[in-house]
Structure 1
Amino acid sequence: MGGVKQKASWTYLIQLYEWDKPRGYFSTFTKLTDAHVLPSKINKMKVSCCAQVFGNSVGKFMQCLIDAESSVLPKEAEGTAKLFLFLNKLFDSFNGVNRAPSEENQLKCAISTSAHKVFWHEAISVITSMKFQERGTEKLSRPPSLKNWVWTIRGMQYIWDKLSANGWQYLIPRHFNQDAIENFFSCIRAHGVRNVNPMCTSFITSFKTLTLNNFCSPKSISANCEDDLSTGA
Structure 2
Amino acid sequence: KISTTKERCFTFGRNLLRTSLDVKTRTLTYSGLEDFGGDIESKFVSSELTDHALVFMFQRLVDNVTQPISVFASKGPVKGVDLVQLIIKAIILLEDAGLQVMALTCDGASTNKTMLKQFGVSGKRADLKNYFTNPYDGNRNLNPSNNFIKWDHYRQVLNDSKSMLKICPKITNYHIVLNNLTKMKVKYATQIFSNSMAVGLQFYRTQNCNGFDDSLETQLFTTKINDMFDAMNRKFPAEGIRENSKDLEILNQSLEWLDQWELMLDQGLIEEKEFLTKNTAESLRRTLKSTIDLVMYLLKECDFKYVLTSKLNQDSLEKFFGIIRQTSGPKDHPSTPNFLQLYRLDTDYTPLITIQDLKNSINENDESFVREKKILILKSHIDEIIKERKWDMDDVFRDTDFEDDRTFNCIFG
TM-score, normalisation: structure 2:
0.42
CA contact (8 A) 1:19 1:72 kept: no
Report matched runs for 1:199-218 at 5 Å: 206-211=342-347, 214=349
Q: Which one-letter code corresponds to 2:196 in the other structure?
A: S
Separation (CA, whole Å) in 2 of partners of 1:61 and 1:155: 33
Q: Post-superposition shift, 1:206?
A: 4.9
- Rg larger for: 2
Q: Post-superposition shift, 1:94?
A: 1.5
User: In the alignment, which residue of structure 2 is the partner of 1:91?
Assistant: 229
Q: Which one-letter code corresponds to 1:95 in the other structure?
A: N
The structure with more strand, counted as a fraction of residues = 2
Deviations 1:140-180 (A, max 9, x none): 25323332222111111111122112211101223433222
Measured at CA, do residues 185 and 57 of structure 1 come closer, stay the same or move farther in structure 2, by a change above 3 Å?
A: closer
Separation (CA, whole Å) in 2 of partners of 1:13 and 1:188: 36
Instruction: Pick one of 145, 170, 188 that aligns with 2:306.
Output: 170
Q: Give the secondary-structure state (helix, strand or coil) at the position aligned to 1:29.
A: coil
Q: Does 1:15 align with 2:156?
A: yes
Deviations 1:111-142 (A, max 9, x none): 1021122221210122231699xxxxx65253
- Tell me the number of residue pairs that the alignment of Structure 1 and Structure 2 aligns: 197
Q: Does 1:121 align with 2:252?
A: yes
Structure 2: gaps of 5 or more residues: 1-141, 266-270, 353-413
CA contact (8 A) 2:255 2:285 kept: yes
User: In the alignment, which residue of structure 2 is the partner of 1:104?
Assistant: none
Q: Does 1:50 align with 2:189?
A: yes
Separation (CA, whole Å) in 2 of partners of 1:42 and 1:79: 28
Q: Give the secondary-structure state (helix, strand or coil) at the position aligned to 1:71.
A: coil
Measured at CA, do residues 206 and 20 of structure 1 come closer, stay the same or move farther in structure 2, by a change above 3 Å?
A: closer
Q: Which one-letter code corresponds to 2:234 in the other structure?
A: G
User: In the alignment, which residue of structure 2 is the partner of 1:152?
Assistant: 287
CA contact (8 A) 2:241 2:306 kept: yes
Separation (CA, whole Å) in 1 of partners of 2:212 and 2:340: 59
- Over the matched positions of the two proteins, sequence identity in percent amounts to 20
Structure 1: gaps of 5 or more residues: 101-108, 133-137, 215-230
User: In the alignment, which residue of structure 2 is the partner of 1:77?
Assistant: 215
User: In the alignment, which residue of structure 1 is the partner of 2:169?
Assistant: 30
Measured at CA, do residues 211 and 91 of structure 1 come closer, stay the same or move farther in structure 2, by a change above 3 Å?
A: closer
Instruction: Pick one of 58, 62, 66 that aligns with 2:205.
Output: 66
Higher relative contact order, structure no. (Cα contacts within 8 Å, ≥ 6 residues apart): 2
User: In the alignment, which residue of structure 2 is the partner of 1:111?
Assistant: 241
Measured at CA, do residues 203 and 71 of structure 1 come closer, stay the same or move farther in structure 2, by a change above 3 Å?
A: closer
